[in-house]
Amino acid sequence: MANFNLANEHLTSIISSYEKVDICDDSPPQNIELLVRALMLLSELHVISNNPGGAVEELLQAEKICKKHRLQLLHCLVCIHLANNHLALGCTAKALSLLRQSLPFLLAHGNLRDRSRGLLLIGKCRVAASADLSAVERRTELLDGAGQVGLAKDGFIQLSQWDRVKDCLYLQARIYHSLSLAQERNLAARQYKKYDQLYPTLSPTNHLLLV
């Protein structure tokens, strides 16, 4: 908790310093990007603290800045964070709507980390949204979601982000279990165990709560 408080203080200080200066049209792009990313990081601290609703204010401020300065890629990232908050609050339809608007541009122009995060999130959203579908539609949606989570996993492997790799494998194992696909479930479970032995999780943070 002390680390969270310290991070909160640093991020709040960064944001306050930029708010005092008043970001304008001719501000250096790196200053605007730093402010937006600080707001996104602060929103993630709210999510880690189990307060996704508290993250909305920072994200709406970041979205406003991105629109003003026509920062389309950053705007897509902010929308991804907003979608994750909607998902955490149980507003799955809103989350999917935001993702379907922003994910194509992110996949075309984002870096590997951001693309992988977007794919993992839409996989989570599709799993959540499948609960209200017919049995046939639900199976199709879950299989498609598992495929997108698999693509995210491959990206995280390239980045050596092992906690996120394990997040993907855990989610895949749960999806395949719900579909009674024992072979696929067992494969995901074995891979999870392998990576967990090689790269034990040290952080207490539940990364599946985050983008």
> pLDDT (tens digit, 9 = 90+) per residue, 133-178?
999 999 999 999 999 999 999 999 999 999 999 999 999 999 999 9
- The answer to whether residue 12 scores a pLDDT higher than 90 is no
What is the mean pLDDT of the segment spanning 41-64? Answer: 89
- The answer to whether residue 1 scores a pLDDT higher than 60 is no
**pLDDT (0 to 100) of residue 2:** 45
Whole-prediction pTM = 0.89
Per-residue confidence band for 47, with pLDDT thresholds at 50, 70 and 90: confident
Q: What percent of the chain has a predicted confidence (pLDDT) above 70?
A: 92
Average pLDDT, the chain: 90
In three-state form (DSSP H/G/I as H, E/B as E, the rest C), the secondary structure along the chain is CHHHHHHHHHHHHHHHHHHHHCCCCCCCHHHHHHHHHHHHHHHHHHHHCCCHHHHHHHHHHHHHHHHHHCCHHHHHHHHHHHHHHHHHCCCHHHHHHHHHHHHHHHHHHCCHHHHHHHHHHHHHHHHHHHHHCCHHHHHHHHHHHHHHHHHHHHHHHHHCCHHHHHHHHHHHHHHHHHCCCHHHHHHHHHHHHHHHHHCCCCCCCCHHHCC
- The answer to whether residue 19 scores a pLDDT higher than 70 is no
Between residues 67 and 28, which one has the greater pLDDT? 67
